[in-house]
Amino acid sequence: MDQADATRRHAELSRQLHHHSYCYHTLDRPEISDADYDRLFNELIDLETEHPSLAGEDSPSHRVGAAPLEKFEAVRHSLPMPSLSNRRSEKEFREFDAQIKRFLNLPDESVVDYTCEMKLDGVAVELIYRDGLLVDGATRGDGNTGERILNNLKTIAAVPLRLIEPCPPRLEVRGEVYIESAEFQRWNTELEENGKKTFANPRNAAAGSLRQLDSRTTAKRPLNIFCYGIGQLEADLPVGHNELLQQLQQWGLRVNLGETRLAHGVSEVLACFHDLLQRRDDLPFEIDGMVVKVNRLDWQQELGSVSRRPRWATAFKFPPRQARTRLEQVLLQVGRTGAITPVACLAPVEISGVTVSRASLHNWDEIERLDVRVGDTVLVERAGDVIPDIVGVAPEERHGTEEPITLPESCPECGSPISRLDGEVVPRCQGLACPAQLKESIKHFASRKAMDIDGLGDRYVDQLLTLNRVNSVADLYRLSRDDLFLFERMGEKLADKLLQAIAASKERPLPRLLFGLGIRHVGEHLAKLLARQFGSLEALKQASHDELLALHEVGPQVAESVVAFFADARNGEILDQLAAAGVAPPPEEKRAGGPLSGLTFVFTGTLPSLGRKEGQEIVEHLGGRAAGSVSKKTAYVVAGEDAGSKLEKARQLGLTILDETGFRELIASKEQE
């Protein structure tokens, strides 16, 4: 085919594919079979392989992903992406309605029209279209600055790469990326079967999928989107939010119109809410409430925002899901540092489709506060996600045989004494050779943020210990194929993959190794700081208490813990073994100085042109520290519009407060020093 024919055919195929994708994913009304769609798609890919210049920005071929990125770039939203205030009861919703009428000077008895939408529990994103073409896409981030995830968003079939004409010159549209519950379950089961880490809930799974640097991975995830609002729009606005949603759908965007209601006043909103609450468990996706928006767009404008939340909208949240069941037993878990945590074992009970048999009791003070006993009927709450909590006890159901939960004197795993050290609230096993601590320390060492040994999940770590194949993290590097063949269901391929992953971890950078070693009080951030300040493990080993303490962020507790870690003979042996096995992080570039070294900055409020993230990056790049809260140690507070309590605190403490210009001037002068 010559170039002209190829161009014509490519345009026709693109048009057809966009149309059928829209019918299938956005309208839920397919016009052709999947096989026919695949045939068109494959023809397009073949054409683009032969004529690569045809693969324009809106080619349907982008759905399969693009080459991986090194990192995500920061994107400043041209209008902030606020979050919503919450209302949790009828009374609170009535107050919301009353506030709106007061603000708009409407009589008490007037009736406001509201749009009621489902509040999907996913990840908020922004899509930017210029002349109909999708040109950018970002996460919400902190509301002002998000991350550019355009390639990943392009893989979502329901995200149009080009809008349907006539479309506006510029449109910023906002929506929620989510995963349907059934897809989530299917995928999680698959992960579990492959010994991979599973996700706690669909929201985490969606967020994890969007944060892939390789969009070809995102393309394989069952992501979907519903659009619910706009940022900037260069077009005439309709009168109502409901009409705006319809307009978005006409442009080809996926909107949950079938489940959006226009409610006339409070009573209709409440009816909608109760109806939704009833149907909550029958929906194909997780929702955690209803979003109620003043329908008239001019009123939305007039109402504006207060402390970065719109006055014209609110999240009417569902009550947390609860169930009653029997507390059968309390297990004591021993963590990596010996901390003993109580875990409740429950008679299995279903809370909204998930069978719960474990719950957190948090700590020993909580047990005392609740006066919870083994054998009690307890109230369990699953607040949308993660580990359920025990929130109460039904004392009226007691028979007198319930047993109080007491802290034993010795570790259930190794029999060593348990004690609370000075100033610590958490009881700890004091055993140096406690197998439970070993297990947790290996899991931590191999974890994603530490040495990132892909595939070495809980199941394998358990087996390594049961088979007595490891006594320390260093032993991981001595494992052979034969050792791994002792595992259940371990084939040659999997064994080699695991050995490769272990070998690959030998070159992880120093901060990861330091974090992975599990030195008490040294989290990810401090591990980075120590690596940067000392440059090598050798240098850190030699560091004295005073040298450590001289670092801005290191207090006596951390200094003591680092010195004690390296002074311990057993740790010394493990470090030697690691080095002998070839675990050799490349030396870190030392960045002891920097013009802002030793200075802490806090950013608050909205600055005219500088994003908070950008400001923080400048500070860190110049050797300073950007902190989240104000204290006596803060050198400068950089404050913009709508700065709240942090600014107030800074004033009380008499700290130096800068605006954006002041900040820029300070940086310029420091850089010249």
Q: Which of 31-39, 62-70, 309-317, 545-553 is the region at the interface with ligand IVH (rule: CB under 6 A)? A: 309-317
**Per-residue x/- marks for ligand IVH, 315-334, CB under 6 A?**
x-------------------
**Per-residue x/- marks for ligand IVH, 144-183, CB under 6 A?**
--------------------------------x-------
Nearer to ligand IVH, 37 or 226 (CB): 226
Query: How many angstroms separate the CA atoms of 146 and 125, rounded?
Result: 9
310 binds ligand IVH (CB under 6 A): yes
Q: What is the closest distance, in whole angstroms, from the C-beta atom of residue 124 to ligand IVH in the complex?
A: 3
Q: Residue 123: beta bridge partners?
A: 177
SS3 317: strand
Nearer to ligand IVH, 308 or 324 (CB): 308
Q: Which residue has the tokens 């490519």?
A: 10
Query: How many angstroms separate the CA atoms of 200 and 507, rounded?
Result: 30
Query: How many angstroms separate the CA atoms of 96 and 657, rounded?
Result: 35
Q: Which of 35-43, 113-121, 461-469, 524-532 is the region at the interface with ligand IVH (rule: CB under 6 A)? A: 113-121
654: left (phi over 0), alpha (psi -120 to 50) or beta: left
Distances (CA, A) of 391 to 86, 163, 321: 21, 49, 12
Binder among 120, 370, 434, 529 for ligand IVH (CB under 6 A): 120
Nearer to ligand IVH, 292 or 502 (CB): 292
**Per-residue x/- marks for ligand IVH, 186-225, CB under 6 A?**
----------------------------------------
Q: Which residue has the tokens 């100085």?
A: 593
Binder among 158, 173, 244, 291 for ligand IVH (CB under 6 A): 291
Residue 552 corresponds to which tokens in the numbers above? 């801005």
Dihedral sign of CA atoms 583, 585, 587, 593 in order? negative
Nearer to ligand IVH, 127 or 313 (CB): 313
Nearer to ligand IVH, 178 or 477 (CB): 178
Q: Extract the runs of DSSP E, i.e. beta strands, from 45-204.
A: 74-76, 85-87, 113-120, 123-130, 133-139, 145-147, 170-179
Q: Extract the runs of DSSP E, i.e. beta strands, from 121-248.
A: 123-130, 133-139, 145-147, 170-179, 223-233
Residue 543 burial (10 A CB sphere; 0-12, 13-18, 19+): buried
Task: Report yes or no: 358 and 344 within 8 Å, Cβ to Cβ.
Answer: yes
230 binds ligand IVH (CB under 6 A): no
* Residue 119 known to be catalytic: yes
Task: Report yes or no: 522 and 561 within 8 Å, Cβ to Cβ.
Answer: yes
The phi, psi pair for 136, rounded to 5°, reads -155, 160
Nearer to ligand IVH, 211 or 670 (CB): 211
Q: Which of 79-87, 157-165, 548-556, 629-637 is the region at the interface with ligand IVH (rule: CB under 6 A)? A: 79-87
229 binds ligand IVH (CB under 6 A): yes
Q: Which of 116-124, 129-137, 162-170, 643-651 is the region at the interface with ligand IVH (rule: CB under 6 A)? A: 116-124
117 binds ligand IVH (CB under 6 A): yes
301 binds ligand IVH (CB under 6 A): no
Closest residue by beta carbon to ligand IVH: 124
How many of the other CB atoms lie within 10 Å of CB of 537?
22
Which of 119, 317, 613, 646 is the catalytic position? 119
Q: Residue 255: beta bridge partners?
A: none
Alpha helices in 518-611 (DSSP H): 524-534, 537-542, 545-549, 556-567, 569-580
Nearer to ligand IVH, 291 or 562 (CB): 291
Residue 613 corresponds to which tokens in the numbers above? 């993230």
Query: How many angstroms separate the CA atoms of 78 and 90, rounded?
Result: 35
Nearer to ligand IVH, 148 or 591 (CB): 148
Number of residues that bind ligand IVH (CB under 6 A): 15
**Per-residue x/- marks for ligand IVH, 36-75, CB under 6 A?**
----------------------------------------
> Helices 510-517 & 524-534, crossing angle to 10 degrees?
130
Q: Which of 2-10, 80-88, 270-278, 454-462 is the region at the interface with ligand IVH (rule: CB under 6 A)? A: 80-88
Contact residues: ligand IVH, CB under 6 A: 82-84, 117, 119-120, 124, 140, 176, 228-229, 291, 310, 313, 315
Catalytically annotated residues: 119
